[in-house]
Amino acid sequence: MKKIKLVLSVGIILLFLSFNIKEGNPFYIPENWPKPFYNFEDNQLTRDKFELGRTLFYDETLSRDSTISCASCHLQYSGFTHIDHALSHGIDGEIGNRNSPVLINLAWNSFFHWDGGVNNLDKQAINPLIHPKEMGNNLPEVIRRLNNSKFYKKRFLSAFGDSVISTSNLLHALSNFTLALVSANSKYDLMKRGVAGSEFTDQEKSGYQLFLKNCNSCHTEPLFHSNAFKRNGLKIDEELKDIGRMAITQRKSDSMLFKVPTLRNIEFSFPYMHDGRFNKLKEVVDHYSSIPAHQLIVSKELKKIKKPFTDQQKKDLIAFLKTLSDKQFLYNKDFMFQRNER
């Protein structure tokens, strides 16, 4: 009798675990995090939609000539950005104007793109699909191709209860995947949760203190971004002539404002800045450490930085930034291309 009970309870636990692994969309809100911006009422998250979104994310046939997928410029092991490329290249080898952003904790973003031109995650994916230098396609053609595919009709039917594929369902499936890209298991997170073995070294502690004093007002814990636009003192690139937020609002006062990106997984998401001009974290720290106090064209937060940092301080700061790397996220098998899908 006892044996039967044991087998039964083990069976139930296993069943429960397998359901837990398969059933839901992997999106979750980590403990003590703020409320997300994304409106989940518009797009209910499910496992089916997540898996469909993942398939679409890795599918090159969405681009005009079937050569470029979302993942071409958003690689998982770099935090879903285009590692090594200052400016991302898309279809026909065309090079865009900006460094592709990481896709991390997107539910907590109220704006998308370096200039914040996109106000809703669902609508963001239209951009790479139709941009002539990215995937170079057009929406009617994308929808036509999907509707001609028996494979996708079946997948959309199972995910949305409708085999006729619409723009809305395409974008909702993609959001189901990109929303699930939650990174909250870095050494920093484990340290905050008091997990044994994750205590900061003296150098990381010193770097964290420097960070809180000088960087946190824009790259705010626990997301390490803020949904704000700042002028970070970089000189305009004369070739790209990127004026940032002003291109969206037409306000002169918004010239050279760019969105504050997250610092999570920053160790692996090089190169840095909106135009990818810096390859190493040290160059970034050097930049913020050397902005002259009298320079008027930087945001007020940067004027408060106690400069210049000593070499030791710079090293400490970088040691802290590396505690934001989340290997569980970067190598999460659930986010990878699934070879056996078709």
Partner 1 sequence: MKIILFVLFFLSFIKVSVAQLQFEFTWKGKRIELEKVYLFANNDSIQFSELKCYLSNISLIDQKNKVSTIAPSYFLIDLEDSNSLVLNSALDISKYRRITLIFGLDSSVNNSGNIEGVLDPIHGMYWAWNSGYIHSKISGKSNRVPTKKQEFEFHIGGFRAPNQTYFNFELPISGNNIQLELAPFFDNLDLKNENQLMIPGKKAHDFAKSLTALISIK
Min dist CB 211 to partner 1, Å, is: 32
Tell whether residue 162 is a contact of partner 1 (CB under 8 A).
no
Which of 84, 123, 148, 193: binder of partner 1 (CB under 8 A)? 123
Tell whether residue 29 is a contact of partner 1 (CB under 8 A).
no
CB atoms within 10 A of CB 139: 12
Phi-psi region of 87 (alpha: psi -120 to 50; beta: other; left: phi over 0): beta
Q: State which residue, 30 or 117, has the beta carbon closest to partner 1.
A: 117
- Site residues (CB under 8 A) for partner 1, limited to 31-70: 39, 42-43
The CA-based angle 330-336-338, given to 5 degrees, is 165
Q: Which positions ≥6 away from 74 have C-beta within 8 Å?
A: 57, 80, 81, 82, 100, 102, 103
Min dist CB 171 to partner 1, Å, is: 7
Total residues binding partner 1 (CB under 8 A): 25
Q: Is 267 helix (H, G, I), strand (E, B) or coil?
A: helix
Tell whether residue 163 is a contact of partner 1 (CB under 8 A).
no
Stretch of 163-171, 186-194, 197-205, 224-232 contacting partner 1, by CB under 8 A: 163-171
> What span, in angstroms and rounded, lies between the C-alpha atoms of 313 and 339?
45
Q: State which residue, 79 or 101, has the beta carbon closest to partner 1.
A: 101
CB-based contact 181:80 (threshold 8 Å):
yes
Tell whether residue 243 is a contact of partner 1 (CB under 8 A).
no
> What span, in angstroms and rounded, lies between the C-alpha atoms of 325 and 224?
12
Which of 61, 66, 67, 120: binder of partner 1 (CB under 8 A)? 120
**Tokens for 265?**
């997984």
Tell whether residue 130 is a contact of partner 1 (CB under 8 A).
yes
The CA-based angle 251-254-260, given to 5 degrees, is 150
Q: What are phi and psi of 272, to 5 degrees?
A: -115, 165
CB-based contact 273:284 (threshold 8 Å):
yes
Which of 45, 103, 107, 171: binder of partner 1 (CB under 8 A)? 171
Binding mask 191-230 toward partner 1 (x if CB under 8 A, else -) reads ----------------------------------------
Q: State which residue, 88 or 323, has the beta carbon closest to partner 1.
A: 88
Tell whether residue 255 is a contact of partner 1 (CB under 8 A).
no
> What span, in angstroms and rounded, lies between the C-alpha atoms of 181 and 315?
29
Tell whether residue 18 is a contact of partner 1 (CB under 8 A).
no
CB-based contact 81:183 (threshold 8 Å):
no
- Site residues (CB under 8 A) for partner 1, limited to 131-150: 131, 139-140, 143
Q: State which residue, 118 or 236, has the beta carbon closest to partner 1.
A: 118
Which residues sit at the interface with partner 1, rule CB under 8 A?
39, 42-43, 113, 117-120, 122-123, 126-127, 130-131, 139-140, 143, 166-168, 171, 247-250
